[in-house]
Amino acid sequence: MSPDGSPGTDPGTEPGTEPGTGHTIAWFHCFAGIAGDMALGSLIDAGADVDEVIGLLERLPFGGWSLDVEPVLRGGIAASRAVVTVQDHVVVRTYAHIVGLVEEARLPTRVAARALATFAALAEVEGGLHRRPVDQVHFHEVGGHDTIIDVVGTAAALELLGVDEVRASAVATGTGMVRAAHGMLPNPAPAVVGLLVGVPTWGRDLPVELTTPTGAALLAALSAGFGPMPAMEVRSQGFGAGTRELEELPNCTQVVIGSRVGGSASSWPMRWPPCSTPVPTTPGCPRW
């Protein structure tokens, strides 16, 4: 990144490396599902500098939040838990409002594009579920400061790690019911199911929300495909912790960062194209 924090000649180049040193992949292993804070925590655990992540987040035109990273154990595995604390508890924002916040922040191009793509995916699915045009979609839980920090922070961490391509495993979900702003909902939540259309998923017999709408949106918007870990020269790995400890399995998301080797690995075909360029931001014009 350039001195002002914007992308240089090659916005996908990892800080500290020269252009042309390889195509960097981040593969998310969602054996216990994925949430926004788990994605962010895993990337910080894998080496994204938390102070630089916070520096990019501070460009957002609102305050009243803080990001801390706690070292924890989940099922005996060392992990990082990203904890966002907010003072402003406004939780309802429109899609257009969130687009305006991200655009006003003047983030590096690929950070903004990835964040906007994630919120566009959420708006498209929420609009369908509530029979509203995209520009009239109101976000409840996913419109709060903590969710915006999780999404933009994840995009910033991907950029700091020089990630050119995102991929993921099949996605685990829970069962039962979960409480949301609209009351009790089936688990996985309707928004999660809508976002994961075309994505390989499977359910664990656990009454826990393993995959959240924010986590599903990150994968739906950013992943180029789904399947086993692609062929790569591994550079690092990280584990992002969920809030609670589970007896049945480590409650965390694993990410593996590496440089592609050989040809393209086989993967589940994606319904939507991966995010690699700036996306339309006009309300009502989702990227796909």
Q: Which residues contact 125 (CB under 8 A, 6 or more apart)?
A: 191, 194, 195, 213, 217
Query: Which ranges of the chain have pLDDT less than 70?
Result: 1-21, 88-91, 140-143, 181-182, 263-288
Q: State the helix-helix crossing angle for 213-222 and 109-130, rounded to 10 degrees.
A: 120
Write down the pLDDT at residue 69.
98
Angle value at C-alpha 142, between 125 and 175, nearest 5 degrees: 70
Q: Where are the domains of the chain?
A: 24-260
Write down the pLDDT at residue 263.
55
Query: From its phi and psi, is residue 20 left (phi > 0), alpha (psi between -120 and 50) or beta?
Result: left
Separation of alpha carbons 136 and 150, rounded Å: 23
Separation of alpha carbons 283 and 46, rounded Å: 34
Instruction: Report the DSSP pairing between strands 93-94 and 138-139.
Output: antiparallel
Write down the pLDDT at residue 90.
58
252, 42 contact by CB (below 8 A): yes
- Quick one: which of 249, 273, 242, 275 has its CA closest to 34? 242
Q: What is the pLDDT of residues 51-103, one digit of tens each?
A: 999 999 999 999 989 999 999 999 999 999 999 998 866 567 888 889 999 99
Alpha-carbon distances of 130 from 123, 194, 288, rounded to whole Å: 10, 12, 19
Write down the pLDDT at residue 265.
44
3-class state of residue 237 by DSSP: strand
Write down the pLDDT at residue 87.
83
Separation of alpha carbons 258 and 161, rounded Å: 10
34-71 as b/e: b if 16+ CB within 10 A? bbbbbbbbbbbbbebebebbbebbebbeeeebebebee
Query: From its phi and psi, is residue 76 left (phi > 0), alpha (psi between -120 and 50) or beta?
Result: left
Write down the pLDDT at residue 113.
98
43, 158 contact by CB (below 8 A): yes
Alpha-carbon distances of 159 from 13, 53, 192, 209, 271, rounded to whole Å: 8, 9, 25, 28, 24
Provide φ and ψ at 74, rounded to 5°.
-130, 110
